[in-house]
Amino acid sequence: MNHVPAIEVKNLWFYFEKAPVLEGVTFTLEQGDFLGILGPNGGGKTTLLKLLLGMLKPAKGSIRILGQNPHDAHHRVAYVPQNTDFNLSFPISVMEVALMGRLSRARMGRGYSGEDRASVQEALKKAGMWAYKDRPVGSLSGGQRQRVFIARALATEPEILFLDEPTASVDPEFETDLYEFLKELNRYVTIVTITHDVGVISRYVKSVACVNRRLIFHGEGKITKEMLDMAYQCPVDLIAHGIPHRVLPEHEEK
């Protein structure tokens, strides 16, 4: 049986109103990997994610998700967007939110099946939120809510989990906790996450890609000067062990 990569992208181009957003992107991600995608705002990170999900179509190049085109593989992947647009005052429980992940599998006009509820129970247990199943989602902390939204995505039993800035709505003290959770989750599912957390992400991911129209991929989870230079084109400060240090030198404004 041939091994099929989780993601295979070849010479991918995408334009927005004739302006290139992504140029010649090529990389392969193996199943079981944990990829962190870094880059500046407007550099094409979310566009790349939407292309991988089949929400956008490339102008040129090819994308294979688990050996299939993105549209055909949509039932094998799950997505947690950056903004959930969730009304915290809406009276809905953790269990009810997680069950939403099974809506596409539930028939119209019929309730959730025992299989649906078993999958959701397993997802909430993996997310560490089963004990909160009857709590209103609006009463949870940002980090707890994010775990519930991830559980909702896991309820579909995906082979690849895509996340866009999963710690954007999380308090700094819960940021590491969330990445520890994702690292544990990576035992079961391939993970691709967009992040700005350069210092944090390097401790948890297995692979790193920097995107700023072009893409540099590093399969050993190392953030190199070449990546940061290409992606940010400016000095980048990291805080390691509580001590800030400059990754790239100062540069003159042009």
Per the CB < 8 A criterion, the answer to whether 176 and 201 are in contact is no
List pLDDT tens digits, range 206-238. Answer: 998 889 999 888 877 666 677 667 666 544 444
Residue 221 confidence (pLDDT): 66
DSSP type of residue 145: H
- Walk me through the domains of the chain, giving residue ranges and CATH numbers: 7-43+55-195+209-222 (3.40.50.300)
Which residues, listed in sequence order, are joined to residue 12 by a DSSP beta bridge? Answer: 25
Q: What is the pLDDT of residue 104?
A: 67
Q: Own/partner pairs for 42-46, CB < 8 Å, 24+ apart?
A: 43/211, 43/212, 43/213, 43/231, 44/14, 44/211, 44/212, 44/213, 45/194, 45/211, 46/82, 46/164, 46/194
195 by Cβ neighbours in 10 Å (0-12 / 13-18 / 19+) ranks as buried
Instruction: State how beta strands 190-194 and 237-240 pair.
Output: unpaired
What parts of the chain have a pLDDT lower than 70?
1-2, 83-86, 104-109, 169, 172-173, 199-200, 221-224, 227-228, 230-254
Q: Give the C-alpha distances (Å, rounded to integers) separating 188 from 52, 59, 160.
A: 20, 33, 9
Q: Which one, of 109, 117, 126, 211, lies nearest residue 161 by Cα?
A: 126
pLDDT of amino acid 108? 56
| Phi, psi at 187, each rounded to 5° | -65, -25
CA 241 to chain centre: 26
State pTM to two decimals. 0.83
- List phi, psi (to 5°) of 43: -80, -10
CA distance 68 to 71: 8
**Which of 83, 86, 101 lies closest to 194 in space, CA to CA?**
83
